[in-house]
């Protein structure tokens, strides 16, 4: 078994825990594994010392159950792994209900507003790009059809229009890009906080 396989099995065994806690545990073992490798131990020896993923998970889950029981002041009932499972199920149910209610009244409307802003900025970018093409067309038509000072006036107008459209196109592109990125981050942070 490689360390990666061991870690996958551990994650599987810790399925009942919140993702953030599971990540902390895998980070912890990753660090321990790296330090033991640096100390000259082989992968096989390290994994033998860690023990099976199942036994590691059982110890962590049992400890978690004790902490849950202690934090609830429920010292009379002996804490067991199944108590932990029950509290995890209740916790997951709470998250689902909170997630649905939050999505209905806040999440979806907020996402709709953010998507509208991104689409509007995208439209600015597209219209700016289309404006550059139109200005170019105007430049050529003006240059070939006008006479005398009119040529210079057409070229000047076309260049000015291209500048404005270029600004709109490029500005629209970056505004769309960053608005989309930060909208995604905002929604992710909100949901992370709500579903913690």
Partner 1 sequence: MDAQLKKGLLEVCVLAAIRKEESYGYKIISDIAPYIEISESTLYPILKRLEASGAVTTRTEAYNGRLRKYFRITEVGKAKIQDFVDTMYEFKKISDFITQGGGV
Sign of CA dihedral 82, 83, 85, 86: positive
- Give the other-Cβ count within 10 Å of 118's Cβ: 20
Alpha helix segments (H runs only) across the chain: 3-13, 19-38, 43-50, 53-71, 81-102, 108-145, 149-195
| Residue 56 or 175 with smaller CB distance to partner 1 | 56
Name the minimum Å distance from CB 58 to partner 1.
9
Rule CB under 8 A: which residues touch partner 1? 24-25, 27-32, 34-36, 38-39, 49-51, 55-56, 59-60, 63-64, 67
Report DSSP state, residue 49: H
Name the minimum Å distance from CB 52 to partner 1.
10
Could you give the CA distance from residue 104 to residue 117 in angstroms, rounded to a whole number? Answer: 20
| Residue 65 or 175 with smaller CB distance to partner 1 | 65
| Residue 51 or 109 with smaller CB distance to partner 1 | 51
| Residue 64 or 176 with smaller CB distance to partner 1 | 64
Name the minimum Å distance from CB 75 to partner 1.
12
- Closest to 95 measured CA to CA, from 16, 13, 26, 25: 16
Q: Is-contact 81 61, C-beta < 8 A?
A: yes
Could you give the CA distance from residue 161 to residue 77 in angstroms, rounded to a whole number? Answer: 77
| Residue 51 or 163 with smaller CB distance to partner 1 | 51
Name the minimum Å distance from CB 94 to partner 1.
21
Name the minimum Å distance from CB 115 to partner 1.
35
């Amino acid at each position: 078994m490689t360390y990666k396989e061991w870690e996958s099995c551990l994650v599987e065994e810790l399925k009942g825990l919140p993702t953030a806690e599971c990540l902390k545990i895998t980070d912890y073992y990753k660090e321990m594994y790296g330090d033991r490798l640096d100390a000259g131990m082989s992968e096989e020896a390290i994994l033998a010392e860690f023990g099976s993923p199942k036994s590691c998970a059982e110890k962590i889950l049992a400890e978690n159950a004790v902490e849950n029981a202690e934090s609830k002041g429920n010292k009379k009932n002996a804490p067991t792994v199944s108590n932990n499972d029950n509290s995890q199920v209740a916790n997951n149910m709470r998250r689902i209900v909170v997630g649905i209610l939050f999505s209905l009244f806040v999440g979806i409307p907020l996402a709709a507003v953010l998507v509208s802003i991104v689409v509007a900025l995208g439209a600015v970018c597209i219209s700016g790009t289309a404006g550059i093409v139109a200005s170019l067309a105007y430049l050529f038509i003006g240059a070939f059809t006008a006479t005398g000072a009119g040529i210079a006036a057409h070229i000047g107008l076309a260049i000015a229009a291209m500048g404005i459209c270029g600004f709109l196109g490029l500005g629209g592109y970056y505004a769309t890009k960053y608005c989309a990125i930060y909208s995604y981050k905002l929604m992710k942070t909100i949901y992370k906080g709500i579903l913690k």
